[in-house]
Amino acid sequence: MDFIDEVVVEVTAGKGGNGMASFRREKYVEFGGPSGGNGGNGGHVIFIGEEGENTLLKLKYNRHIKAEPGVNGSSKSMHGANATHKYVKVPLGTVVYTLDGRFIGEVLKHGEELIVAKGGRGGKGNQAFASQKDPAPAYAENGDMGEKLKVRLELKVLADVGLIGYPSVGKSTLISVISNAKPKIADYPFTTLVPNLGMVYVGEESFVVADLPGLIENAHLGQGLGIQFLRHIERCRVLVHLISMDSEDPYQDYLAINQELREYNEKIIERPQIVVTNKMDLEDAEQKYEALKEKLPNQVVLPISALTKQNLETLKYEILKTLHENPIVEPVKKEVVYQLEEEIVPFEINKDEEGVYVLSGEVAERLFYRTNFVNEDSVRRFSHQLKGIGVDEALRQMGAKNGDIVRILEYEFEFFD
């Protein structure tokens, strides 16, 4: 299966069902009154965490996700049913943004839900509008439109430990001998093209380790596997920095990889790091190890050989000890922030080249969508609502006169003062 860790999809929540305008018609009830039911709410689009998923591949081929609309209200005071929500399984570690970069939320646990697009509210039936002043309203509301937006999903691997280092330093071999992972292993750069996850058991405890694609210089600028690798290291609590003893200058390798991390995100370099010198079975490995250890007096440096399995148990216990010293910090859960009604600009009016007053704005458009323009009472109510939010007064201030055309979305009407 292809590994896809970033994708853009369009999500459309369900429209709310329309309310019904009807009246009771019973033989022995002279004044039956309004009996139109409310429409049901539209379905949300919800991303839900799934442990069995490890790639965003399915969403690559499902770029348009739609939830069902609510059911319309009907006569005899029958309300329409709410639509079922549209659930989309995503891997743990999925982060969701709008295309302009606004953070929507993230899914970190199995079964955790994130509402990405809210379904529209069902329209009210005429029964809901009955009052002492107007006991028999002949109008009803249409349901609100569901939210529609494009979002960018980014997968950041969830692992306790990340193996980092240049290509071909032995990361794939190491994870294959300390965990249950079965990565591709070969003696050439970039054997690992996708993150491999493995579970490592130490006595009765365990941790997840990720074999991440090898870094090269200027990876933070997108060279090599670039950002495709670097984003996956962000969630790792401990870094195991593998350095090969067949390198001409192990210390320079150490500095170069850390510089790439620093260029990408300065906070990553603050994570606890265990330096591991691999391929200690080589002839001059001991001298290189001692020279490196001397240059890193305050750094844990462990000599191993993934091939001969030298010191692997020591490494596992050192990783476990470091994890205990750096407990999991639960991320601050951010929710989708919807604007409060009072923060929304109710409407805007602009005059186009033809002299038409163009009315727009979230509140005005919401009132428009709720209006049934086939029903005269409903249209009259819409006109009264626009006046209530200040549209008439604003048009007067802009110089509108009787008979001037006002347009909102696809609907045009004449202004009368």
Q: Binding site annotation covers 94? A: no
Residue 236, token pair as written in the block: 């790792």
Q: Binding site annotation covers 214? A: yes
Q: Binding site annotation covers 190? A: yes
Q: Binding site annotation covers 171? A: yes
Q: Binding site annotation covers 35? A: no
H/E stretch holding 280 reads: none
Q: Binding site annotation covers 40? A: no
Hey, is 413 helix, strand or coil? strand
Hey, is 240 helix, strand or coil? strand
Q: Binding site annotation covers 305? A: yes
**Cα–Cα distance between 208 and 198 in angstroms, integer?**
6
**Cα–Cα distance between 1 and 95 in angstroms, integer?**
21
Q: Binding site annotation covers 101? A: no
Phi, psi of 220 (to 5 degrees): -65, -15
Q: Binding site annotation covers 111? A: no
Q: Binding site annotation covers 41? A: no
Q: Binding site annotation covers 346? A: no
Residue 1, token pair as written in the block: 């299966």
**Cα–Cα distance between 176 and 186 in angstroms, integer?**
13
Residues 37 and 127: beta-carbon distance below 8 Å: yes
**Cα–Cα distance between 264 and 234 in angstroms, integer?**
10
Q: Binding site annotation covers 166? A: yes
Q: Binding site annotation covers 264? A: no
Q: Binding site annotation covers 54? A: no
Residues 114 and 47: beta-carbon distance below 8 Å: yes
Q: Binding site annotation covers 306? A: yes
Q: Binding site annotation covers 278? A: yes
Q: Binding site annotation covers 139? A: no
Q: Binding site annotation covers 169? A: yes
How many degrees, rounded to 5, is the angle at CA 289 between CA 286 and CA 291?
110
Q: Which residues contribute to the annotated binding site for GTP? A: 165-172, 190-194, 211-214, 278-281, 305-307
Q: Which residues contribute to the annotated binding site? A: 165-172, 190-194, 211-214, 278-281, 305-307
Q: Which residues contribute to the annotated binding site for Mg(2+)? A: 172, 192
